[in-house]
Structure 1
Amino acid sequence: MGNQPTTRIAEDRKKTIKGRVVLEKKNFLVFEVTDLGASFLDRVHELLGKNISFQLISADHHESSGTSFVHLGFLRYHWFTKIAPLKIKELTYEVSFDWNEEMGIPGAFMVKNNHHSEFYLKTLTLEDVPGHGQLHFVCNSWVYPSKQLVILRGTGSGMLQKWDRVYDYAFYNDLGNPDDNVESARPVLGGSSEYPYPRRGRTGRPPTKSDPKTESRLPTFFKGLEIYVPKDEQFGALKLSGFLGYGLKSAVQFSVSKFWAQFDGTRDEFDSFEDVLKIYDGGLKLPDGVREKYRNILPLEMLKALAPSDDISNGIGSDDKSAWRSDEEFAREMLAGVNPVCIRLLEEFPPTSNLDLELYGNQNSSIKPSHIEQNLNGLQIKEAIKSNRLFILDHHDSLMPYVRRINATPTKIYATRTLLFLQKDGTLKPLAIELSLPHPDGDQLGAISKVYTPAKHGAEESVWHLAKAYVAVNDSGVHQLISHWLNTHAVIEPFVIATNRQLSVLHPIHKLLKPHFRDTMSVNAFGRQVLLNDGGLVEKTVFPGRYAMEMSSFIYKNWVLTDHALPVDLVKRGMAIEDSNSPHGLRLLIEDYPYAVDGLEIWFAIKTWVEDYCTFYYKNDEMVLKDLELESWWKELIEQGHGDKKHEPWWPTLDSCHNLIDTCTTIIWVASALHAAVNFGQYSYAGYFPNRPTISRRLMPEPHTKEYDEVEENLDNVLLKTMTAQHPALMGISLIELLSRHPSDEVYLGHREPNWTMDLEPLKAFEKFGKELKDIEERIEKRNGDKSRRNRVGVVDVRYTLLQPYSQEGLTGKGIPNSVSI
């Protein structure tokens, strides 16, 4: 913890400790031209005595004349001369060190690479350490040539190269391409009050010609694989190959769908829901007359193999093809779907708006008592509110500032409010949906709203189903851009950067948090290159289109780190109240709220683990206060990583063990369980896109019009014409299939590399954490088998498994990885 003075033991008392190093070198298949020369120079320099040096460092601190110091061992030099094989595999080398028992136990080591080529240092194992026995160090880090080393913080300027290991900050100024055309420009996110945003990892590419504030983009998908990410943050070879493989599959699927559409009478449209289901029932099929003509170009076997998924079991639409239409399922997914983090208690009626009155006029709800009173099971509205029975899914204030601009494009949306009533069986019943548009004469004149209520017959029933579809579109966009991208991916990246810049690898908080940052910078960089950029997959498949990232910046203005602690979030949304007689001191107002029930068990398991860990290293608050590395880390995280929020009063002060534990628990929760809850169910719930359409293309038809008559006559046809078209739907399905899939090398919560610390108590605490997670998994499975818990399975027979800690590879709809890794 921090830099310490050092001393050395006398030469005449040294002993030899033998050990072995396990590493990987770059093999021929990944060599570049410069590597060939470096490899030759390595051989020459080894002959000249230039090699790799190791030096052990004592784990024991000693006091002398009021100064704390640690012992350094004697320098030893080694030659790692084996040629790397074609197939990547581990290489083992024998090493030896000089040491003395008086120096205590080695707790770390320094390594310096005097070669010209980097190598990946996996482990160092020491045998027969005096007074201890075997010691094992897990490294898992690239060791770069000393002449190429750049300090982790970098210089803040210049274009970073793939051999660099620099962690630095930048704005989101690489999403647009103004050199292409004006429409391809995107605002810089971060660094302004208009567009605040978390920072991303700096790449340092040169600016565009048209706009010096915009960073130039890499021109193609495959060039995008070269986007700079610090070496230690890059995907491993196994994950990268799988990621590219499924990415290629997704690209081919879309190409095939476009080809297939050429022979469809209604290009880019699904003719019926049966056409949608064919995607999953054996793949895409060409008409008979075309089959023979194009057999040699595109065999049917390929079409079948490239269907969006080989498995939609346990997904919406897999069994009962119409259950997703029910009001019960529509409401249940607000508690146990892919976006269960937005619903809140309704505390006043009618609902009000927090939008600026001068800018947006009166945006309060137009829902009246007459719209809902007949569905309150005999209660008056005041009684329903007092007994905590009314809830709301409110996508009004977050969307209204963008509705006019979005509706100027081919996309047509509403700002929506959905009111729900908690029934005695624990399920929610939709009461009313309000669809709002900005006043045609100006935003400052307020909203123009219409209210729709449940109906069982005729045109009113069809219109009600259509209103639910508009709500689903909004919820899909808010989920993808806010609940998923902004509140997990984007907000965590500054923590990754600050931790590597300010906390040494030996620091206990660095060791605690490191597993929860794995692959985050890589997946975010990939997202900026092909998903979130101008014309990227997100803009093509989610309703805000070109305003997607700008809208997430608007929501970030209200982001508060501490609000994302699960207990705080539940209380703030009115979904729980503090109750000392309830488990964990919280009582859920909806007892069968699967996300909250499972989530609270995971949250407090994480918190107990973090508390056990931190109190081992910080015996009192004074130790936290005096930790200069910790202070620098937190200061930089606030002032640079989330620099646009640095003046916010809510930031906790790391002046106590309590605050440190709460902060680390929140970081781990967001990076692991929260991300799992909003990511890995995407295919189960949205793979059947009619359940969660992402785009709407027409507004609600007005009564006494031809379009309104069509709603009554053929609702399915209207839904398919109104919601996501065929090509965006297939692109979206392919994207969420990729995002919902666990890779084969996933590392789940409660697991990490062996021997990650030599301290016995933290190892025991981590083992206890793992056992608790297994117990939680068993309890979740038991709850899912309880038929009285109607929100856990629902009429579509999709169990809530998203917070079950463990999973196998593939599309499983469960499993909590340690980090935002996909």
Structure 2
Amino acid sequence: MVDYTVTVYTGDIANAGTFNNVYIKLVGTDGESKQTWLTSYIWNLSFIRGAVSSCTVSCPVSIGKLVLIEIEQHPLIFFTDSWFPAKMEVKSPEGDTYNFPIYRWITDNEVHRFREGTALRVFEDDHPLGKYSRDQELEEREEDYRWDVYLEGIPHSMRSEGPFDLPYEVQFSYIKSTEFLSTAATGLSDLQLTGLSESTENWPDMDTIHRVSCSKLTDISEYVQKHWKEDTFFGYQFLNGLNPMLIQRCSVLPINFPVSDDMVSFGCHRSLADEIKKGNIFLCDYKRLDGLKTNTINGKKQYLMAPLVLLHKTPDDEMVPIAIQLKQTPADDNPIFFPTDSEYDWLTVKIFVRSADFNEHQLNVHLLRTHLLAEVFAVSLLRNMPMVHPLYKLLVPHTRYTLQINNLARSSLISKTGVFTKFAASGGKGVKTLLKRSLSSVTYRSLCIPDDIADRGLGDVPNFYYRDDGLKLWDIIHRFVQGVLSFYYKNDTEVQKDSELQKWISDIFEHGFLSQAGTGIPEIFTTVAELVKFVTMVIFTCSGQHSAVNAGQFDYAGWMPNNPLTLQCPPPTTKGTTSEASMMKTLPAVNATVQGMSTVWLLSRQSTDSVFLGQYPVDHFSEKMPCKLMEDFQGELQVLSEAIADRNNNLKVPYTYLDPKVVENSVAL
């Protein structure tokens, strides 16, 4: 007889343990063991939460190199309770140790097969039972993770009846669920806004807004309150605020934005053409909002403009607005406004721009380009990649909680009764229209920050911290991905013949980008380099990019006048007609304001079980090389984090959203 020592690690998460009888069978290249009851001298405590227990499986002779294990549990008395085994290790009589990553809930008494941790691509998986278990796993996944069409013309989602209909392994943890529900339920009281959520009145003055906005100030939200009227801060936000994705260098003025030299002044006899030629003029064009059907809130029609904003980089390296046109079509009742106009003309016009930016940011930059695409990446991965595939091991940490948070977004934010639908200017029919328009603008290059920055002509803009930190983070991720994938794919031919890999990208092209070849998204992978770049984009989108457009929501939108989700009055059509009173009537009503504040408060709150970029509490890889590459990855992220902290020490407004210490591994919020 020969003995195999089996060590079982039960997950250290809420309700992970079981008192069921657990059985195991070892399957090797030369045979298999009998089904063996896993027990030890501590018996019913063997599989409690966080437990590590060892047992012996005996065989008449060696069964060769281990391929997989079969696990089955049976109720101790009347019912089967759930069990979350993290992993198992098996030490063979030859002295070899085999790792079996599991990290899944076992909720029934069926046979569950788990492969040895060494990554295997489909074309090298030659053991008959191994291939059978691989095919069976994918058949089950295709049933569990089904595509659905939430809205025609936008990326497809995962079909489910609600968050608790999702497979257990992609649901929130107990900690995440408890904290998220608590924050959602107590948001108004946490912000001391209880009693205001039903008020349809207008704000009487700015002092009143100040008083109700001071209970949960962050350092940045306090700065926003003090400086939101300033042109320099208005311009700064296009680079380092919630939406750094719209600004671009202006080489030619749009024909529908007729700004001329006699309208703007730069001093020293410099003309607009001179400044354009020097690369000092920048444009933000909200054309996707043009003609959007706006919401009705509290019985009042709401207003959302599609502005064009011209900005100038001053000799002091500040970005300031020099001209704003609120509608796309030039007309007598659509004047171009300038900083030299009256105080409330200029401030009101900037408020309309900030409201347009809020709606563009939330639906295009945040929801579509991070949440919805991350869901496509996740569903395609979970449908097409078995756990033993190297790409599954690399990418599954970047899918954590994404499917449930998106499910909640569809039910609580953009549903018929959702907060965004009820209180945002673009809520309702506008959501569908804007999402469809936005998808048509999503290209592969726009999702890859080095290409996007180059295409927008922003490579040398000073004080652009989103670009600086983002490019460094992209490079670190790219080196890590290149190291891991080059370890498994030695040449382009191996990429081309990996049918599971090709099905993954094919699903993404079809369900994420609706088979639109013009996006530049690859339909197939032909080279290792193509694969590395695409996987880098996926990880960056799910981690850094989401953090950049999500983490600062309360910082910048907690002070409503800086980011109003809707506006109640039309914009001025002639100059000199605005006042403080007209501006206050234009701002959103009390209930819309506090609902918006509560929502951005919720969406900015990380849970205590957050997993940050570079952290891998789940051991999917067994080979030494990818594990070493993970250590190197963590080291580079630490160096970047320290550099960001040093730089921020000298900034009035620190830029922290791409600091690896606060960037979550996945779209989890």
> Which residue of structure 1 aligns with residue 10 of structure 2?
22
Give per-residue Cα distances to partners, 1:242-270, cap 9 Å, x unaligned. Answer: 001101102556996436877xxxx6332
8 Å CA contact retained: 1:494, 1:642:
no
State the Cα distance separating 1:401 from its structure 2 match. 3.2
> Which residue of structure 1 aligns with residue 279 of structure 2?
388
- In the alignment, residue 275 of structure 1 is paired with which amino acid? T
8 Å CA contact retained: 1:490, 1:524:
yes
- In the alignment, residue 314 of structure 1 is paired with which amino acid? D
State the Cα distance separating 1:687 from its structure 2 match. 1.0
> Which residue of structure 2 aligns with residue 234 of structure 1?
171
For residues 597-636 of structure 1, the aligned pairs below 5 Å read 597-636=468-507
List runs of 5+ in structure 2 lacking aligned partners: 113-135
How far apart are the structure 2 equivalents of 1:155 and 1:598? 37
State the secondary structure of the residue aligned to 1:429.
strand
8 Å CA contact retained: 2:284, 2:309:
yes
Distance verdict in 2 for CA 1:103–1:731, change over 3 Å: same
- In the alignment, residue 89 of structure 1 is paired with which amino acid? R
How far apart are the structure 2 equivalents of 1:405 and 1:270? 20
State the secondary structure of the residue aligned to 1:19.
strand
1:817 aligns with 2:660: no
How far apart are the structure 2 equivalents of 1:514 and 1:411? 42
Instruction: Pick 1 or 2: higher relative contact order, CA cutoff 8 A, min separation 6.
Output: 2
8 Å CA contact retained: 1:269, 1:721:
yes
8 Å CA contact retained: 1:693, 1:724:
yes
8 Å CA contact retained: 1:639, 1:646:
no
Give the one of 550, 558, 576 matched to 2:441. Answer: 558
Q: What TM-score comes out, normalization by structure 2 length?
A: 0.87
8 Å CA contact retained: 1:234, 1:519:
yes
How far apart are the structure 2 equivalents of 1:261 and 1:234? 33
8 Å CA contact retained: 1:565, 1:666:
yes
1:803 aligns with 2:658: yes
Give the one of 147, 170, 195 matched to 1:169. Answer: 147
Distance verdict in 2 for CA 1:434–1:609, change over 3 Å: same
Give the one of 275, 278, 289 matched to 1:399. Answer: 289
8 Å CA contact retained: 1:23, 1:90:
yes
How far apart are the structure 1 equivalents of 2:641 and 2:358? 28
- Aligned residue pair count: 639
8 Å CA contact retained: 1:421, 1:431:
yes
How far apart are the structure 2 equivalents of 1:103 and 1:376? 85
State the Cα distance separating 1:805 from its structure 2 match. 1.0
Distance verdict in 2 for CA 1:75–1:645, change over 3 Å: farther
8 Å CA contact retained: 2:10, 2:48:
no
Give the one of 752, 755, 765 matched to 2:629. Answer: 765
- In the alignment, residue 173 of structure 2 is paired with which amino acid? G
Give the one of 234, 239, 243 matched to 2:180. Answer: 243
How far apart are the structure 2 equivalents of 1:378 and 1:80? 87
8 Å CA contact retained: 2:281, 2:311:
yes
The 10-residue stretch of structure 1 (652-661 or 479-488) with the greater mean CA deviation from structure 2: 652-661
> Which residue of structure 2 aligns with residue 201 of structure 1?
158
> Which residue of structure 1 aligns with residue 219 of structure 2?
314
How far apart are the structure 1 equivalents of 2:294 and 2:15? 55
Give the one of 251, 271, 274 matched to 2:207. Answer: 274
For the aligned residues, what is the CA RMSD?
3.4
State the secondary structure of the residue aligned to 1:402.
coil
Give per-residue Cα distances to partners, 1:406-443, cap 9 Å, x unaligned. Answer: 8996101221000011122221121100011679xxxx
State the secondary structure of the residue aligned to 1:325.
coil
Distance verdict in 2 for CA 1:504–1:773, change over 3 Å: same
8 Å CA contact retained: 1:345, 1:392:
yes
8 Å CA contact retained: 2:232, 2:318:
yes
How far apart are the structure 2 equivalents of 1:660 and 1:679? 27
List runs of 5+ in structure 1 lacking aligned partners: 1-11, 31-38, 58-69, 157-164, 173-188, 191-195, 206-223, 283-308, 353-363, 440-445, 576-587, 787-792, 807-814
State the Cα distance separating 1:348 from its structure 2 match. 0.7
How far apart are the structure 2 equivalents of 1:758 and 1:89? 23
Give the one of 391, 396, 404 matched to 1:509. Answer: 391
Distance verdict in 2 for CA 1:428–1:412, change over 3 Å: same
State the Cα distance separating 1:602 from its structure 2 match. 0.5
> Which residue of structure 1 aligns with residue 118 of structure 2?
none
8 Å CA contact retained: 2:31, 2:64:
no
Give per-residue Cα distances to partners, 1:156-196, cap 9 Å, x unaligned. Answer: 8xxxxxxxx70010000xxxxxxxxxxxxxxxx13xxxxx1
State the Cα distance separating 1:718 from its structure 2 match. 3.0
Give per-residue Cα distances to partners, 1:176-235, cap 9 Å, x unaligned. Answer: xxxxxxxxxxxxx13xxxxx11111112x5xxxxxxxxxxxxxxxxxx654x22221100
How far apart are the structure 1 equivalents of 2:529 and 2:30? 33
State the Cα distance separating 1:466 from its structure 2 match. 0.7
> Which residue of structure 2 aligns with residue 637 of structure 1?
508
Distance verdict in 2 for CA 1:820–1:376, change over 3 Å: farther
- In the alignment, residue 169 of structure 1 is paired with which amino acid? W
1:348 aligns with 2:240: no
How far apart are the structure 2 equivalents of 1:600 and 1:613? 20
1:328 aligns with 2:328: no
8 Å CA contact retained: 2:9, 2:50:
no
State the Cα distance separating 1:102 from its structure 2 match. 7.4
State the Cα distance separating 1:56 from its structure 2 match. 4.6
Give per-residue Cα distances to partners, 1:47-76, cap 9 Å, x unaligned. Answer: xxxx6333355xxxxxxxxxxxx5664243
> Which residue of structure 2 aligns with residue 96 of structure 1?
56
Distance verdict in 2 for CA 1:102–1:338, change over 3 Å: same
State the Cα distance separating 1:563 from its structure 2 match. 2.5
